[in-house]
């Protein structure tokens, strides 16, 4: 029997990295559904501007996902401003684009801090609050790179594999508590994060609004796997049963093995320089910027 679609009207939602990109698109879609939304971002001024654009009582709050105290304060403030939380969306993340052998240690550590630790802490704090109410939903934004290898973003791919595996395990632990867990896995998304990254025969960029629409759908009809585009689940399923050599040959023929190695450094330069400043939020998935590396970096 098909699950009944749930109304989101009146739900209180907290979104990390919500000032721009996927976070902003998701907040927009949820406000239109009647949700009360708190967007957290390292760049408070930008978050305040976004909240003002969205209206609907949206609030902007400062957040550093790498700091447990900051994260707890963000969720507590969201509750204080809007009411008890119903949904927490762990969206903040960074994606340096650089050959693995050239990646500086600080870039590796920052990806682990934001992409992995930030999601784990956010999930822990959200689960603690939602279990008390015996209902709620945690959305962790990972990536298609968390299901398939992507040369050129090896560390990022590893962090997103971690998010997928972590989310799977947490879902098992929370079964029967009334708290749902979903993991969002988009291909490359058309945000500042992927400037200089082209399309290939096998991978076409999707829009932030496409990701937002799938997140909304997963909240209305709960499910764990949220692929964007939705047909990606079939592509990955077919690929998983093929021998490794066949998978790698297909990837080469479709150009997917080069999507993050044949990037335009010049097109990414402005974003990379902006993202290297730690006092502002990074691109599509928000949060802070990685420390200086070579002129490339971050995505979904």
Residues serving a catalytic function are: 156
DSSP state of 117: I
Contact between 75 and 126 under an 8 Å Cβ cutoff? The reply is yes
Structure tokens at 22: 């996927």
Residue with tokens 């009207």: 9
CA angle 17, 21, 27 (to 5 degrees): 70
Instruction: Give the other-Cβ count within 10 Å of 106's Cβ.
Output: 12
CA angle 35, 40, 41 (to 5 degrees): 140
Peptide bond into 229 cis (omega under 30): yes
298 phi and psi angles, rounded to 5 deg = 35, 150
Residue with tokens 């330069």: 269
Structure tokens at 6: 């749930």
CA angle 17, 115, 215 (to 5 degrees): 55
- By three-state DSSP, how is residue 16 classified? strand
Structure tokens at 228: 């964007």
Contact between 49 and 23 under an 8 Å Cβ cutoff? The reply is no
Structure tokens at 223: 């499910």
How far apart, in whole angstroms, are the C-alpha atoms of residue 131 and residue 289? Answer: 32
């Amino acid at each position: 029997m098909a699950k009944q679609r749930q109304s989101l009207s009146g739900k209180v939602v907290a979104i990390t990295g919500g000032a721009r990109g996927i976070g902003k698109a998701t907040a927009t879609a949820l406000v239109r559904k009647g949700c009360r939304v708190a967007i957290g971002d390292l760049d408070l001024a930008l978050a305040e501007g976004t909240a003002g654009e969205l209206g609907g009582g949206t609030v902007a709050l400062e957040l550093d996902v790498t700091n447990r105290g900051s994260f707890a304060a963000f969720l507590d403030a969201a509750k204080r401003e809007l009411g008890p939380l119903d949904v927490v969306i762990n969206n903040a993340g960074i994606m340096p684009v650089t050959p693995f052998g050239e990646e500086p240690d600080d870039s590796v550590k920052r990806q682990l801090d934001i992409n992995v630790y930030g999601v784990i802490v956010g999930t822990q704090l959200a689960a603690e609050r939602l279990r008390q109410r015996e209902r709620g939903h945690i959305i962790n934004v990972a990536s298609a790179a968390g299901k398939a290898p992507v040369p050129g973003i090896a560390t990022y791919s590893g962090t997103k594999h971690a998010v997928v595996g972590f989310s799977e395990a947490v879902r098992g632990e929370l079964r029967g508590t009334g708290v749902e867990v979903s993991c969002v896995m988009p291909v490359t998304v058309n945000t500042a994060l992927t400037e200089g990254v082209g399309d290939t025969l096998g991978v076409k960029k999707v829009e932030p609004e496409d990701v937002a629409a799938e997140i909304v759908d997963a909240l209305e009809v709960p499910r764990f796997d949220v692929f964007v585009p939705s047909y990606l689940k079939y592509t990955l399923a077919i690929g998983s049963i093929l021998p490794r050599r066949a998978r790698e040959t297909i990837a080469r023929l479709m150009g997917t093995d080069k999507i993050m190695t044949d990037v335009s450094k010049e097109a990414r330069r402005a974003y990379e320089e902006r993202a290297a400043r730690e006092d502002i939020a990074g691109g599509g998935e928000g949060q802070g910027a990685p420390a200086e590396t070579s002129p490339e970096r971050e995505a979904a």
